Amino acid sequence: MSLNIDHASVVYPAADGRPPVAALSEVNLAITEGEFVVALGASGCGKSTLLNLIAGFLSPSSGTLTLDGQSVQGPGADRAVVFQKHALLPWLNVLDNVAFGLQIQGVAKQDRYRTANEYIGLLGLDGFQKSPVYKLSGGMQQRVGIARALTCDPKILLMDEPLGALDALTREKAQELILNIWGKTGKSVFFITHSVEEALFMGTKLIVMSPRPGRITHVFDLPFSRQFQSGAPARQVKASPEFIGLREKVLNIIFADEEAVE
C-alpha cells in the first residue's frame, strides 16, 4: 500500500463577495505500508480538508492523489473513515453497526456476522453485540466505529479526531487500544488530532500544518509509538525527556501560527 499526494491544492471558490480561500496549498505527502501519520495544526490549517481529499469526498483543485498507483476518484472501501461522532446508525445494534460496511458490499449475513464478531472481540466489545449503540458510552461508541471501519479490510484507516469527544482518561486508554490494534492489523493510518501529546505518542510520522493557506510546514519522524509497542508503558514514554522536548518544540510552532492569525 502506498498513498501519494503530489502538489495537491484545494481552493474554495469565492462566495458572498469574499475572495477565494486556499484551504490547502501544494501539499506533498506519501504514506507507506504500516505507517501511522498524524496531522496536527491550528484550526483552519486544512487537516480535515486533507482527510476529505484522501477519503475521496473532495477532489483537488490541482495536483494528484494516487493509491497504489490508481488515481483517487471518490470514496471507496479501500479507505475506511472513523469520524469524531454522529457516524453510527442508532437503529442498528452493535453487531449490525460493525457489519454495516460488509452489508453494503453484499456479504451474506452469516459471513458478515462472523467477521464483525472478530473485530468486536478485538476492540473489547464482546457481550455488547445486541446492545443499542445509543446506550453505549462515548468511548465504546468510538470503538464500534473503529471496528466497523476495520471489517472491510481497508488499505488505510482515516481517523478524523476520533478521540476528540472523549474524556481525558478514556482518551488515553483509547490511544493505547488504537496503537495495539494498529500493531495487530498492520494497517496504515492517517490520524487527525488537536492534541500535541496524542500526536507525538501515536504517530510514526507527524505532519504539522499551518493555516492561510493550509499547508504542511514541518514533518517529524517519531519513535514513541514504536517504544510503546515494544513494551514501554505509555506514561513512561510520555514522561521521557525526548518526548517533552519535542512537545515543547511542536507547541511553539503551533502557538506561533495562532499568534500570526490573531
Q: List interacting residues with another protein (CB under 8 A).
A: 55-57, 74-77, 79-81, 83-91, 100-101, 103-105, 132-134, 148, 152
By beta-carbon proximity to another protein, the closer residue of 131 and 180 is: 131
The CB-of-229 to another protein minimum distance in angstroms stands at: 27
**Of 31, 78, 25, 27, nearest to 55 (Cα)?**
78
By beta-carbon proximity to another protein, the closer residue of 104 and 261 is: 104
CB-CB contact of 101 with 80 (8 Å): yes
* Cα-based torsion angle of the residue sequence 109, 114, 119, 122 in order, rounded to the nearest 10 degrees: 160
**Of 220, 213, 255, 211, nearest to 10 (Cα)?**
213
The CB-of-67 to another protein minimum distance in angstroms stands at: 13
By beta-carbon proximity to another protein, the closer residue of 101 and 214 is: 101
Write phi, then psi, for 132 (nearest 5 degrees).
-70, 140
The CB-of-135 to another protein minimum distance in angstroms stands at: 8
By beta-carbon proximity to another protein, the closer residue of 83 and 220 is: 83
The CB-of-63 to another protein minimum distance in angstroms stands at: 21
The CB-of-36 to another protein minimum distance in angstroms stands at: 20
CB-CB contact of 26 with 62 (8 Å): no
By beta-carbon proximity to another protein, the closer residue of 47 and 215 is: 47
Cβ neighbours around 242 below 10 Å, total: 13
